[in-house]
A and B are shown apart, each in its own frame.
Chain A
Amino acid sequence: MSTELNKIRNIGISAHIDSGKTTLTERILFYTQRIHAIHDVKGKDGVGATMDSMELEKERGITIASAATFCEWDDNEINIIDTPGHVDFTIEVERSLRVLDGAILVLCSVGGVQSQSITVDQQMKRYKVPCIAFINKCDRSGANPERVTDQLREKLGHNAVMMQLPVGLEAEHEGVVDLASMKAIYFDGDNGEVLRVEEIPAELKEKAELKREELLEEASNYCDILADAFLEEQEISAEMILSAMRKGVLTRAVTPVYMGSAYKNKGVQPLLDACIQLLPDPSEVTNIALDLDNEEEEIILGNSSTEPIVALAFKLEDGKYGQLTYIRVYQGTITKGDTLINTRSGKKLKIGRLVRMHADQMEDINLIEAGYIGALFGIDCASGDTFAAPKLNYSMTSMFVPNPVISLAIIPKDNKAQINMSKALNRFSKEDPTFRTFVDDETNETIIEGMGELHLEVYVERMRREYDAEVTTGQPRVAYRETITRRADFNYTHKKQTGGSGQYGRVAGYMEPYSEGEFEFINKITGGSIPTQFISSCEKGFKAGLTKGALMEFPVTGIRVEINDGAAHSVDSSEMAFQAAARGAFQEAYKKARPVIHEPIMKVVIETPTEFQGTVMGTINQRRGTILGAQEEGPMCVVESQVPLAEMFGYSTILRSSTQGKAQFTMEFANYRQVPQSITEELQKKKAEEGKGAA
């Protein structure tokens, strides 16, 4: 194991579906001699790169899709971290972005920057991940790396600078011109493993000079020595250019652009060189933890192996030997036998076996130092948990997890499926805190909850593929909520005197809308009209009222209850009596407080060719949506809107059929908003009918 931090790169490869991420990863592993033969990606049907790489993994028995694959290039260690391509699982994506120090943004030289590249790029921007771009598929017809570089500038706002020029495009794509060294590189051998460096072909010479000029101009912004040399027209070495560009990349001021065709084995080795030359090593990245003892205050971690340990479990995997937990160590050194604290649960854990993952095998190691990625066996935790040295109560991720907005009943097909399903659900809910599951007491059905239709669909699909659990699904249900709109007083007496000891309790006060949270209970009792020992029972009673609102039996949120008076009986008052009184008081006031129903509203962003703009807006309008705006960008147009989740079921099909499959959309939770009166009435009618059906 190398101990020099500057020889480590933790990188992610992020890409649009079908831009060739799997092929590129495969080639990287081949050239770094992690795998020994190249296979093609088969059955690409556009369903999803992650899914097809998982299938591939099964067929081939290697872990391409494993959370972190380790490989070596030129005496440097590269950890390739898997970044989920789908944008719906924000939490999972965010977690993997926390772990990487740099990224390769893969773009298709034909398709260019597409809406998903925009989303992926925004996430990288948010986490300030330095990146280099790789324009893939230069062998395809219609390939135009220069146009894609322009799009990087215009659509994504990157300061994109070409580091290479293609030697031939489409079927004639042979290699690349390296603008730093001013040499042409060709890729010989059966699998492009032999690099042949030659002079630049005459017809490209002029263009290469021009592009090099642009590159030097940009590089001189980051290095004074280079700037002086450039002005004085001195000879400038490739090393000088790269070291200047590196400074720009680390601050995200510039995005160097590389190109080639992974499928045709062109341009991958120079890209690997660029990862080492341009992307940061772990010591060059600022990592921030949140101090849980201090209201999640941000703390900058030290990146040193001698400080107290802070590590993040970013991915769990089920293996033959139980749960494998991938971790990244941010500071300190984890050694076998260490005792750490899981700061989420507060539980102690003892480090047993430590391993490092290769493409097709794992290696036992004794310690993991700061900046490294490794895996642990036999640790019970959820992904996203932070392990820290006993005295530190730090967390790498915020404890805030949004509540699910949609639920779905799932029914296993047979007994075997039932067993596999519960295994799968157990795993998924550990992996993804926004995915939840429970058994409905009334219907006895298993319910899964999540952040969107697609979110749940993918999990159902994974259950089938990875756990062999065939399940049928019910209609998706929207997570409506109830809340009140005005203040209402209560004064409720619970009295029961039918034989035995009686029950007596009176609570008085008021409830009012509360916008800062879900529930607040305020005790303003003075003079002991309700004895102190019964106050918590009152709170419990009110909380019990929150589970089901009187309007439509949806959960109630956004209520503040204040009690300011009451009465107790020296013999007949009990905890039970006050709980019952509070429940009664809640019901009494709730009806008067004009309850309303709230529904989840999604932010829906649709990218469509301009000619379908009107049609797309029409589909939003039909769905009670509000169009926030339309943004025209050349031939494409981006429509931003807010639409109630309840109206979004099956939207992908509608959108596809109304735009000849040329539009795509992304959806994320925006907020909760009051349901219009007419829809409330509809919901109530439906509910009444269901009630009748059940009876």
Chain B
Amino acid sequence: MNVQNRTAQVIYLRERNFMMLKKDLMMRNPLRSVSDENGYILPEGGLGAVVARAGVGKTALLVQLALNSLLKGDNALHISLGDPVRKVSLWYKEVFNNIGVQYKIDKIDDLWNELLPQRFIMTFNIDGFSVPRLDERLTELADQDIFHPQMILIDGLPFNDQMKRTDLHALKELSEKFKSHIWFTVRSHRHEEPDNDGMPVQIAEFADLLDVVIKLEPQDNEIQLNVLKGSGAISAQDLALDPATMLIKE
């Protein structure tokens, strides 16, 4: 389905244009500066968390991480616990259109249609979700050769009560099994104090399993991306979200 799977020698002109466009978008993408040479922030089989209070921009950041991997030619699986497929789709469309406006791309719709097959949205009711269940679904998709995600985003994991350390272990195993990179969101609350290392209470006990933890915090006229945990390029960066478009800026 994606470009790499096609017969290697034939590159149609239309696709070449898209490849150039994608490359261009990636070059200008602020996330590039925090990625390794292959364009990944997380190591293969890694886990990353995006922590923020409600309404600060967790989903927007997840969607941009997903778009980044779509542009790279990777497949992204977006799992939402609670929101219907249509709403998640709208998020993507909105963020992508904003990128189109920001970088003045005129063929944004065509490019979007090109990227669409690489994205897969899966939604569960919060009660209906469990890591083994996700594993079952993913294995099914992979066995039937329907979808192989390199990037998995999970929005709305219930960290307050349901998630246990074993679940996180299982998630880590899943990430390794599918050779993917898993990002998930964690909702924090204003009144909760972080632990001694500055980790939010929800994930403090799992922090050792996580490779990267980013906290979104509103500050003046922007939303700061504070890296609570991470190694390499990511830890030294100074990125923020523009609250008007929710796009990452340097």
Q: In chain A between 618 and 663, which residues have their CB closer than 8 angstroms to a CB of chain B?
A: 618, 621, 626-634, 638, 640, 642
- Contact call B88/A629, Cβ cutoff below 8 A: yes
Chain A residues lying within 8 Å of B12, measured Cβ to Cβ, are 677
Kindly state the separation between the CA atoms of A642 and B121 in the bound complex, as whole angstroms.
Answer: 13
Q: Interface-forming stretch among B25-33, B52-60, B138-146, B199-207?
A: B138-146
- A sample of 8 cross-chain residue pairs with beta-carbon separation below 8 angstroms, ordered by A number, consists of A614-B141, A627-B147, A629-B88, A629-B120, A629-B122, A630-B120, A633-B128, A634-B128
Distance (whole angstroms) from the CB of A588 to the closest CB of chain B: 21
Name the contact of B146 in the complex, choosing from A485, A618, A638, A674 (C-beta under 8 A).
A618
> In the complex the two chains form, is A631's CB within 8 Å of B85's CB?
yes
A618 surroundings in chain B (CB, below 8 A): 144, 146
B84 contacts the other chain (CB 8 A): yes
A640 touches B86 (CB 8 A): yes
**A630 close to B140 (CB less than 8 A):** no
Total B residues in contact with A, Cβ cutoff 8 Å:
28
In angstroms, Cα B147 to Cα A617, docked, is: 10
Q: Which 4 A-B pairs have the closest CB atoms?
A: A629-B121, A629-B85, A614-B140, A631-B123
Q: 8 Å CB contacts to A: which residues of B43-102?
A: 78, 84-86, 88-89
Q: Answer whether residue B117 sits at the interface, using C-beta atoms and an 8 A cutoff.
A: yes
CA gap between A633 and B141 in the complex, in Å:
18
| A164 in contact (CB, < 8 A) | no
Residues of chain A with a CB closer than 8 A to B84's CB: 631
B128 CB contacts on chain A under 8 angstroms: 632-634
CB distance from B144 to the nearest CB of A (A): 5
For chain B, residues 141 to 164, give those with C-beta under 8 angstroms from any C-beta of chain A. 141, 143-147
Contact, CB under 8 Å: B121 / A614: no
A673 at the binding interface (Cβ < 8 Å):
yes
A395 at the interface (CB under 8 A from B): no
Task: Knowing A617-B141, A627-B120 are in contact, say whether A633-B125 is a contact too (CB < 8 A).
Answer: yes
Contact B121 A617 (CB under 8 A): no
Q: Cβ of B120: which chain A residues have Cβ within 8 Å of it?
A: 627, 629-630
> Min CB distance, A494 to chain B, in Å?
32
Interface residues in A429-459 by Cβ distance below 8 A to B read none
Tell me if B89 and A629 are in contact (CB < 8 A).
Answer: yes
B116 at the interface (CB under 8 A from A): yes
Q: Is B178 an interface residue (CB 8 A)?
A: no
Which residue of chain B is the closest to A515 with respect to CB atoms? B109
Interface size on A, residues (CB 8 A): 21
List the A side residues contacting B145 at CB < 8 Å: 621
> Is A613 part of the binding interface, using a Cβ–Cβ cutoff of 8 Å?
yes
CA distance A638 to B122 in the complex (A): 10
**B219 at the binding interface (Cβ < 8 Å):** no
Determine if B86 and A634 form an interchain contact, defined as CB atoms under 8 angstroms apart.
no
B190 CB within 8 Å of chain A: no
| Inter-chain contact B146/A614, CB cutoff 8 Å | yes
Q: Is the CB of A632 within 8 A of B124?
A: yes
Residue B14 interfacial (CB < 8 Å): yes
CA A631 to CA B12, docked complex, whole Å: 35
* Set of chain B residues within 8 Å of A628, measured between Cβ atoms: 85, 89, 116, 119, 121
- Bound-state CA distance A618–B144 (Å) is 7
B140 near A613 with CB under 8 A, answer: yes
Min distance, Cβ B191 to any Cβ of chain A, angstroms: 29
With a cutoff of 8 Å between Cβ atoms, the chain B residues found around residue A677 in the complex are 12
Interface centre among A485, A617, A630 (most CB of B within 10 A): A630
- Chain B CB within 10 A, most for which of A628, A629, A638: A629
Contacts of A99-155 to chain B: CB distance below 8 A: none
| Residue of B with least CB distance to A614 | B140
Q: In residues 585-617 of chain A, which contact B (Cβ within 8 Å)?
A: 613-614, 617
A613-B140, A617-B144, A618-B146 in contact; A629/B123 too (CB < 8 A)?
A: yes
The reply on B113 being an interface residue by CB < 8 A is: yes
In the bound complex, what is the Cα–Cα distance between A628 and B91 (angstroms)? Answer: 13
Known: A618-B146, A627-B147, A640-B86. A632 touches B141 (CB 8 A): no
Q: Taking CB as reference atom, which chain B residue is nearest A640?
A: B85
B119 to chain A, nearest CB (A): 8
Binary per-residue interface labels of chain B (108-135) against chain A in the complex, 1 for a CB within 8 Å, 0 otherwise: 0010010011011111110010000000
Question: Given the complex of chains A and B, what is the CA–CA distance between A621 and B147 in angstroms?
Answer: 10
Q: What separation, in Å, do the CA atoms of A640 and B78 have in the docked complex? A: 14
Residue interface bits A165-201, CB-to-B below 8 A is 1, else 0: 0000000000000000000000000000000000000
Residues in A whose Cβ lies below 8 Å from that of B124: 632
Q: How far is the CB of A631 from chain B (nearest CB, A)?
A: 4
**A629-B78, A632-B122, A633-B125 known; 20 other A-B pairs, CB under 8 Å?**
A614-B146, A617-B141, A617-B146, A618-B144, A618-B146, A621-B145, A627-B120, A629-B89, A629-B122, A630-B85, A630-B120, A630-B121, A630-B122, A631-B85, A631-B122, A634-B125, A638-B85, A640-B85, A674-B14, A674-B110
Chain A contacts of B14 at CB under 8 A?
485, 674
Query: Which of chain B's residues has its CB closest to A625's CB?
Result: B117
A621 touches B116 (CB 8 A): no
Smallest CB separation, B76 vs chain A (Å):
12
